[in-house]
Each structure stands twice: as C-alpha cells, then as structure tokens.
Amino acid sequence: MYSVEDEEYRKISRSGLLARSPEGHAAKGMPIKGHEDMWVEIQAHTFRNWVNENLRDCGYQVNDLSTDLCDGVRLVALVSSLQKKRLKYVKRPLNQHQSLENVTTALNAITDDGIKLVNIGSVDIVNGNLKLILGLIWSLIVHYQFGSSKFPPKKMMLAWLKNVLPECSIHNFTSDWNSGIALSALLDYCKPGLFPDWRELDPRESVQNCERAMRLAQKVFNIPMVLEPEYLASPYLDELSGMTYLSYFMKELSPGYFATLRWVQSQVPECNVKNFTTDWNDGLTLCTLVRSFGGPVPGHKNLSRRPEDWETNQEQGVNGGLRLGVEPVLRPVDMADPEVEHLGVMAYAAGFQWLKKKPPPGERLVVNIDTKKARVNQPSNFRLEFIYPEDIDPSLIRVEIIGPNGPVPCDLELGPDGGIGTFIPTDVGMHELIVYNEDEPVKGCPYHIRAAPDRAEKIMFSGLDPCSVGSVVEVSINSNGAADSILQVVAEAPSGRELHCPVDRDGNAFITTFKPDEAGQWSIAIYYDDEHIQGSPFSCVVYDPHAVKLSGLEGAVPQESFTFTCDAIAAGIGEVRFDVVHRGKSIPHQKIEIKPGIYRVTFVPPELGKYRIYTYFNGSEVKGSPFKMMVTPDGKPVPENQKKSSRRDKSPEKLEKMRYSPLNASFREEGKENRFNSIDRINKRPPGSPEINGHEDFSHLQIAQSPRGVSSIQNFELLKSVKEVNRVNKALISNRDETDAVHSRIVSRRDVNVEERGPNLAAVSVRDVNVEGRGLDLAAIGRTSSFIIESQDIRADDLTVVINGPKGTTIKPRVFDGPKSHSITVEFSTTHIGEYIIDVFLLGQPLPNSPFRCFAYNSQEIRVGNIPDGVVGEPVEFEIDGSSAGSGNLEILVNGGHVTSSVSSLGGQKFLASFVPHQASLHTIEMKFNDDPVPGSPWTIMVVEQSVTPGKRPSVIGDGVRHIPARRQAAVQLALASYQTVSDVKATVLGPNKRTVPHNLVNLYNGTCEVEFTPTEVGAYVVDAAIGSMKVYGCPMIAKAYDASLIRVSEVTSGRVGQVCQFRVDAGSAGEGQLEISINDGEVPNQVQVLGGGRCLVSFTPDHPRLHTIDIKFNGETVPGCPFKCKILDTSRVSVSLKSLELIPLGEPAQFNISVDSNSNAELAVAVRGPTTDPPVRVTGNTQNGLVAEFTPSEVGPHTVTVELNGISVPGTPAVCKAYDSRKVVVSQVPRGIIGKQVQFTVDAGGCGEGNLEITISARGRNVPTQVQPQGSAKFIVSFVPLEAVDHVVSITFNKEPVPGSPFTCTISNDPGRVTATGRALTAASILRTSTFQLTNISGSVDDIEVNIEGVPRNL
C-alpha cells in the first residue's frame, strides 16, 4: 500500500482543472453517462454549501457559484477565512476592472499558500465559468479541509473508513453510502451506542436512513449537512461530494479522529499518545502498539529515541504489523517525517482495532534448561515448551548458540507442543543460548551454559586407568583355581607407604580394592605364593584436582595484559584447563607451562568489574573454583566500604574514552581534592611537561597518522589507536574551566514508607537498577537531553534526581514513566557550557556509579574560517575555532570520506585542518560536532588542475595508488612543464619481485606523457619518474595489479527457503581490490564474513523457492563462472515427526511419519545411515493420508535419518537416533552379604549404547541407599550396606528395560560375632504409636544392653 494514486487523482489537487476528470470519479458501473447535469448539480450544491459553511462568520452567502463569485468579494472573504488572515480588496467594485482586481488578489493568496493554479485566471472567475470554478473550490477543499498532505486524500480516507467499518465493506465514496447504513455505522463508531441498530436498517429506505443519520451527526457532532440526504442516497452521487461530506468525520479534531485516538490510548496508555503526528514520529508508539497485540518487534527494549533511528524503529513496527496482517498505509520514512499529516497515521492505527490479541512472540514459549553446565564433546539438551501452540509457527523458531570461538551448531527438533534442542560444545567456556521466535528473543534469554572439559580429555597412561584422590580403585584378578589364602595385594604410595588390600572372591575371580590418598604414581603388587603374578607390579596414576592452587589474582587493570600463576605440581600428572569469565562471556587467554606443573595464564580484561576463573584438572573442577578477582582502575583491591558502589564508566567504550581522550584529563586546583583519581593514573603528564594556571598543558598532544589516513588527537605517552573511521578525521576538544572541575552538590533526600508499597519495593536493590542514555555523557545547549532508569517494581516517585551545573546553577529535571515497561525517563535542558553533576537516588540511596558526569556543549559555537578553492596536489588549509563550543568530538569528512584529511592543534582549542585533493572537481567538506552539524556545513569548493608553467614541478596525474588488471597494458600519465619533453623523463617500473619491468614512454598532448607497461603477475608495481635530479611530484606511484580470474568460488549447493545458504570465495591469489557480491541483482541480502588470507564466507537466506543467481565482481570485473546458480526449494511442504525415535531398541522396527503436501510434485528420498552399515528403509502410505517410514537397527550406535526433497534435506533432518541393546549390559555376580558390611558388584554397560541405567536395591519392599561410582568406559561399581538379614532384590534396567538376569537376589545373613538390630522401626516410625525392633546374637543379659534414641527437639 505504499504506491501513490493514479495520475488521474494526483491531478485533482491542481486548481483550474475540472473538479472531476473526463473519466469521472464516481464508482465504476454507476449510471453517470448521459446524466452529466446530475453530477454537476450535486457537486455544485455540495461545494456551495461548503463555501457558505466557511463564510458563516464573514456575513456573506453564496447562492450561485457561477454568479456570486464574479466580483471577487466573496472569493476574497472565503480565502481570508481559510487562511486566517485579512486580505485587502475592493468591497464594492463598481466595474469589471475592480472585480478582476479582487479575484486576482484571491488567486495570488491561494498560489502563495502552496496551491498550484493551472489553466485558470481571473477572467474565468469573473465570466462565471462553472466547471473551472468547481475545480478551484475542490482544490481549496483538498488543501484546507483534507490537509496539505503529499499523499492523495482519497487513498488515506478510504483506508481509514475500511479499517473502522470492516463490516460495511467500503470501497468508494458513492454507491457504498447510498443506503445510509454505512453512515449510521460510522456514527456508532465515533460514539459507541449512538446508533446501535444500524445493522437492522432497511437498505430500501435509503433516503430516510441518510436523513436520520445526517441529522444525528449534525446534532451530536455539529457536522454540517453540506450534502442533502437525497443526494447522498442518489445513484448519481458525485464522488467529490461524498468525500467532502465524509471528511468532516476524519479531519483533525473530528469525531472519528477522537474515536480512533481514544482506542489507541486504551491500548498503549504508557505512551501518552495525544495526536497522530509528532507522537508517532519516533516509532516507539507503533512498536508498543504492535507488541500489545503480540506482534514481533526485535530489540523492542532497546529502541532509541534519537531522530536518526526513527525510520529504523518505524520499519520494526511496520514489519511486526505485517506479521499480524495489518498492511501499512504509509512508508516508514514518511511516518518518521515530523511534517507527516495525521490521516495516514490514523488510518494505519485503525487497522489494528479489530485484531485478536495474543502474547508477544517471545512469551509464547518457554525455554527449559536442565542444567547450566555441559561438557565438551558431549551433547547438551534444552527443551522448548509451547505455551500458546496455536500462535506458533515452528518454522519461525531459530536458535543461536555463541561459544567462546563463535557460533555452535544446534539441532532443533520441534513438534506441535514444543521440542528439544541439542548442541555439542567443542570449546571449554561460556556458551550463550538465545532462542528466537519471529526474530524476537524468548523471554529469559540469553541463557549462559558453561562447558567444562570432557573427562575423556585426559593424558593416556599405561597401566590402570587414572583416578582421583579419594576414589575407590578396584582390581579384578582371574584366579584360575588358586586358593584364597595365598593371594596378596599390596599398594605402594608415591611416598613409599604400603597399604595391604583386602581380597574377596567373586566367582572365578578375586576382587581387591584400595582408596588412594596421595597424588602420584602408585604401584600395585599382586603376589601369588609370595611371587609376583605376570605383569605385577601394575602402575596407577592418581591425581588430586583439589591440590591445584592459583596466585597473583590482584593488580588487574582494564585493557592491559594481566598474568596470574597456577601451581599444579601437587596435583599429579594431568592437564589443567582454565575458563576466564566476565559478564557471562569467556575471555580469551593464553596458558604457558613455564616448568612442569607451573603455568602462567595471561589475558586482557576488557573492562572494570568482577571476573571468575574456572579451573579444571583432568576434567574435574578444582577446589575453590571459580576463583574470583576484581579489575579496578588502579589495580588495587576495592575497599570493603566501596564494593557496593563503584564509579561508573565501566564499559569498554567509556574506558576507551578515559584512556585516550584529553576530554577526560584530570584537573586539579590548589587546596581542592582531586575527584578524578581513577582517571589521573591514565592521563599522566609526560615528565617535564608544565602545568599552567592550574590546568594541564596539552601541548604534548600530537597527531598520529594511521595507515588508513585517519588522524586523531592522542596522548603522547600512549599513542594507541582508537577505533578508526575510514578517512574521517576526528578531533577531541576539551576546554572546561577550572571552576567547573569540582561542583558542590546540593542533594535533598526524602523518606519513603516502603511498607506502603508492599514487599516488592522492599526487595528492590540499587544494584538491580540500570541507568543508561546519552544524557549521562553529553548534552546539547538549548535542547532536551535524557537518560533512562530501568528496574522492576519502582516508580518515578521513588527517585530523586539532582543536577548541579557550572557557576552554581541547578537544573530541575523532569522525571516520568518511560515508554518501555519498568523504565523511567529523566529529561533536562542545559543552559551553560561545562560539566554537570547528576546525582540519582532510589528511596534516599545513591544508585551505583552515581554521581554521573555530563558535559554540555554548543555545536553552533564552532567557528570555521574561510575554506579556499584548491589545486590538485596542493594542500587546502582552513582554521577551526572550538574554544566556545564546549567538550566533544569534531568530525571532518571530505567528499564523504574518500579524501584523507588531517588536523593539527594551534592551541587554545583551535585547530588547523588540511587535505590534499587528487582530482579536479567540486569537493564537499562536512563537519559535525558530537554528531551535530556545524554551522555552515557542508561547504563546497572548486579544485582545479595544477597549471604547468616554467619552473613548476612535473607531477603524476591521478591518484597515487590505483588498481590495474594483470596481463593487460597499464599506463601512468605525467604532466610536464612547457619547456620539458618526453625525452627528459627517466622512468623505472619495479614489479612485486623487485625486478625491473619493461616500459615505454609515450608523448601525448598538452605537455603530458605516459609510462606504459604490462604487469605479468599479481602484486604491487612501483612507478618512479624524474627529470634530471628533480623527482616527479607524486612519485613513486603504486599500481596494484589484480587478476579476477584467480578468484575461486566453492561449490554452490542447493538450498531451501528460510535456511541459510553459504559458499566460500577465495581471493587470496587475486591481489588487492574490492569484492562485490550480488544475489538476484541485489534483491536478496547477503552477509560476508572475512576468514583471513583473502578468503570469506558468504551467507544468504532465500525467501522464495526459485533459481537464485549469484554474481561476483572483483574491482568491477566479473569473476569467471558467473553467474553461479543456486536452486532453492520449499521443503516446508514436507514435515517429519521424529520425536519418538530419540532412543530405539536394537532389532525392533522403528517408525516415523512423513506428511507431504498433496499438491507437491517432487522427488522424496528417505535414508538411514548406521554406524557401519545402512539398514534398509521401507516407506508405505500415500501423500493424502501420510507416509510411514520403517527401519530396523541391527547395530548399536547413532543412526542418522535423512529425508530429502529433490536432494534437499527437509526441516528436522538429518536427525540422529540412538540404537541401544539392553541385553549387552553385563552384571557381575552379586555376592552374599553380612549385615553392616559393604556389598559390591560391577555393572558394565559399555557395549549397549547410549541410554539411562537405573539401579534399585530394596529389602522388604523398601529401597536401600545405594552408591554408584563411575569407573570410565560406562563401567560402574555398585555398593550398599545391608541393615537386615533378609534377601535384597537388585533391579537393573537400561532405558526402562530389564537387563539380563534382573532382578538379582543378594542373600544377607547375620554376623555370628556381632549384635544386630532388625525391624521396620529402624527406618520408619509412626507418631504416638509404639514402634519396635529386635536385637539378636546377644551373649550377655538384657542389663548389659544400652539403647539411645535421639529425635527432633520439640519447639518450645
């Protein structure tokens, strides 16, 4: 709906044309032909009434438009009434000359007000030309009744009427209104209940309906009856007449205007909407309205109010409205225009009125994460639960996981009620998980999941598997019929201490265990008949992760390399890993082993704050991990009384400004405390630099030219590059007075009764409050500045904001609830240049980082001297005076940044700017101060060629660096003086290998010559020329040869709609230049990720199933093989349900369903790939009722299921199904046991695949506490201590299936030499009832027995 009306309708606003074009404006099919007099009569009648309505206060009346306007008196009165100004005219014209004078006065006033007059003059009015007079009146109606919009009124009016009267099906201003029903419905819309029975009206009683509705509109809304009811009901109704009457319902401050406005206010009360113009410009109202109906608005919490972001905000809102089914009436750029007319915005807003509300996309589902810990190379799962499944399109859900080294693939399998996401971390560190629905993050995102090293990531040792201190090591020995009494096991610790290990028989084998308590290499000696068995002694490496120690965690400073030490000597043999985490992200670090077991870990903290160092040894987290450390401005520990309220400027951007900008240099005055100690250490004066009048001397600041031609003022000591902007010169201006450096702050605090606000407010901590906004840093003089305070459960009344400015001024800010939920906006206006101190208190407590420092500036005080015209190759210089502008950032662009500029300081905040033009043309100089245009910007100067006169230096024509194609002739032109010839020139050309390249000197014209040569390989060629001892200006010149034919493009595979397609471009051998990539002639956006070495990864997401063409150019030349073809299919026509196939038993058929659009005509392929062999797949069914695919796994392990449509995988595939075999779980013999002594057996599930192993031990129907110790490779030691002399039942299942032999029976007997207690009361007892248990094997009397029973103490 962005299109403009037909040319026919654009003409109707031009005065002088007929009020209706030759084709007419009536609805198609109406009986207009042959009844021209009827529509002229209706139109003349309506226009006459409109004129009289506007002449009511003037004392005039028009009865006949063709005669009563002839003398110009009433026409002048009409124009004066419409324009609200008085015009001079002849009140009683006595002749035609005076009548013409009056009409001319009126027409001139109309023209001066922006209305174009075409083919009409004073004589036409005086002569009473009715059709031209009607055209003139229509132009006045369009301009003054509808509004001076650049959009056709008909389109805007129809859009509003369609949206507010959806039941009436409005398409025109004629036949749709004849019955009077639509007008009655419009009255009921403007005032609900005014005409409730409009649906019951009889369309055959059209005149009565129209008269009743029009008189009611006149009575209630004071809408004049410029149109007679008979005319409104007439089949010959003229469209312009209908538009004129209906415009009274929708013009500004009309009944329809207020009806739509009231509805908007009821939907978004937080936006405080009062109109349909300025309150909508920034796009926040639209985005809030879209969000209130559940439309997607990505990043809605961070939308900016800056004018430069208005159009982007509008685009976000319009796109969200389209998802809801609301078509835009205006373009986003038009809605962001401060001059936008109300009708288009009002019509668009009304389009939301009848929508059914639903939750925002980010609140229609939830993310459930079982644990926020994962392990490298092991799958980690999360679940999606659809709260409103009917409002979710699974194809619009995507997951983004960012690991320490970039994106991590995620397999998402969705069903009708939710799904499961699986990803496998490949790097140790924090992983950020964000789930998007319709491009909006799901509530609660991002989630941070920490990936620890894989326990399998251990150094391989010979002998027994490594284990940790405190674990139980079990050794199984094959007996081969040996007797128990002659087998001995001795474990020797690294310190030489020996442990004699108990030996138990387990069927045909012996089992011995020991528990190592030292780190190092243990020796396990096994003796049979006092001799070592074969292979004895065996070694076992034991490590102690809790022996790892970290030191040197203090002294870290932002953006400076920091090193701490790790001592793992006492931990034994193994691998130590680190993960440095800040704000939920892993920080890159470097680990160096300086000697065995001693490591140095180095990283660069990006900003102030708390850091956590997770430390692992052989995959186990060490004691004390995570270790905490603080990064402070001076590297010193934070005092305890300041830990809860640190200074602001903690972000990397703020820190960068502190370190490199003279804007933040500290000021100090005798007798005053220096308030900026945290900055002072960074901006130290160089040794010997003076301090003048209490100010630091900035004469030691110099301009450092970067390789890209970007210059910025930097500290002489630091000389570190700030973020570069291509060929944009930046100067940092600081001219704060000494008296502005320190302010006395007058702060009034108030007491607030927390109890009156309930428990939520009492729980709010100042640490949970976030303050952000440009107004905390910079404020323009005379303009409103603002910042936002965000937190839960606080109101504007809970805050106190005090702003103290320079020279003792105090500013009263405006504090009110912001446009976003849980946000408060603070607005203020500065009046003086200098520093403002902003104190913010919540219930009397200062917020973290308060007070804030804001610097007021005035870009209008930047003074730029005369910028002269220039000459090619010679500097153009001009002065800039910023001494009265305040502190800030000055940017200079020449020709949009294509010409390098430089700035040098003249002292006193004055600068000399210069640039060297390289070609003769108009040059544009743009200048901004703190992003505000400087007065006079942009400037345009003329640059001319350098006139070559005797004595002038010869020069190179054109840029000093250029690109040339390899293996084609290249030329460099030289301009010579008039007395010089080509024979005087001595030129050399050196190739990339530093060898001389053959060249020719060719004489051209007007004192110019040419150095011609042919580059034979890719690389830089240096062209140098001289005449005698005088070098040609601009030499040596660099020509960079490239070869587009050497660019290699990877295979462009077919893709599917909505899925990212990628291919690689390797330009590493093609030389230097610009790579241009276009998909479908630029219709499809693409993203390019630079991989280094001249290689890049190109990604795009197709929206339509069609052949996509990819064109690639290098320095304007087409790359061979272009255009590349990419076939895109719509695989959404096929859906696969694999939810039940996550785990499948071996040897049993597994099935999954495939739904196919019956209208599809494509090839469907189904395949299953096993670990070593691929099982056959059988597909049955049809496209109408659905397909069923069946396969039977024959081996344990992952099986990959792939469903392809024309060779492209459909959504949800390939998917991995895990086949398992519970029959391969091996359980050792469960030995007999004795009460009170540990019983052990082993379970080996190494060969049965992935799954869930459940072990339950019970006695008399009650579960017995059981310990399961992993031994690696899916082997476990199971142990329990029986308390009763009864058979114990051991139940073992794998994926809910009993393993072979389960349940097992473990016979437990009494210890003959030990008193034992049995009975139910030992495990559970009822209150206020007698409980008993039995004692057996008592050798003495009852008097020798002492029983103590301790319970829970009674509360007094």
Q: What is the pLDDT of residue 1185?
A: 77
Q: What is the pLDDT of residue 44?
A: 85
Confidence of residue 886 (pLDDT cuts 50, 70, 90): confident
Looking at residue 519, the DSSP 8-state letter turns out to be S
Nearest to 369 by CA among 379, 356, 380: 380
Q: What is the pLDDT of residue 698?
A: 29
Whether 361 and 1024 have beta carbons less than 8 Å apart is answered as: no
Which two tokens mark 837?
């101190």
> What is the distance between the alpha carbons of residues 154 and 157, in angstroms, rounded to a whole number?
5
pLDDT above 60 for 760: no
> What is the distance between the alpha carbons of residues 244 and 19, in angstroms, rounded to a whole number?
12
pLDDT above 80 for 946: no
Summarised one tens digit per residue, pLDDT across range 1085-1108 is: 888 888 777 888 898 988 888 889
Across the range 164-178, mean pLDDT stands at: 89
Q: What is the pLDDT of residue 146?
A: 77
Stretch among 12-21, 248-257, 608-617 having the lowest mean pLDDT:
12-21
State the residue for tokens 């944009």: 728
Of the two residues 634 and 615, the one the predictor is more confident about is: 615
Whether 47 and 141 have beta carbons less than 8 Å apart is answered as: yes
Query: What ranges make up the beta strands (E) of 547-667?
Result: 549-551, 562-567, 576-582, 585-587, 589-595, 598-603, 609-617, 620-621, 627-631
Kindly write down the DSSP assignment for every residue of 913-948, as one continuous string.
EEE---SSSEEEEEEEETTEEPTT-SEEEEEEPPP-
Phi, psi at 800, each rounded to 5°: -125, 125
pLDDT above 90 for 30: no
Q: What is the pLDDT of residue 752?
A: 36
Confidence of residue 127 (pLDDT cuts 50, 70, 90): confident
Average pLDDT over the chain reads: 79
Summarised one tens digit per residue, pLDDT across range 699-744 is: 222 222 333 333 332 222 222 222 223 334 444 444 433 333 333 3
Which two tokens mark 957?
């024509």
Nearest to 177 by CA among 92, 97, 244: 244
Q: What is the pLDDT of residue 485?
A: 54
CA distance readout (Å), 1166 to 553, 1053, 1158, 1194: 57, 19, 18, 18
Q: Is the dihedral of CA 490, 494, 496, 498 positive or negative?
A: negative
| Contacting residues for 81 by C-beta, under 8 A, at least 6 apart | 54, 55, 57, 58
Whether 510 and 503 have beta carbons less than 8 Å apart is answered as: yes
State the residue for tokens 């003059």: 121
Q: Return the amino acid letter for 1001.
A: L
Summarised one tens digit per residue, pLDDT across range 849-862 is: 888 889 999 988 99
Confidence of residue 611 (pLDDT cuts 50, 70, 90): very high
Whether 18 and 37 have beta carbons less than 8 Å apart is answered as: no
pLDDT above 80 for 1179: yes
Q: Is the dihedral of CA 105, 106, 112, 115 positive or negative?
A: negative
Whether 802 and 745 have beta carbons less than 8 Å apart is answered as: yes
Stretch among 453-467, 1144-1158, 1251-1265 having the lowest mean pLDDT:
453-467
Which two tokens mark 625?
């991990």
> What is the distance between the alpha carbons of residues 406 and 404, in angstroms, rounded to a whole number?
6
| Contacting residues for 321 by C-beta, under 8 A, at least 6 apart | 286, 290, 295, 327, 328, 348, 351, 352
| Contacting residues for 1008 by C-beta, under 8 A, at least 6 apart | 957, 973, 974, 975, 976
Stretch among 638-642, 932-936, 943-947 having the lowest mean pLDDT:
638-642
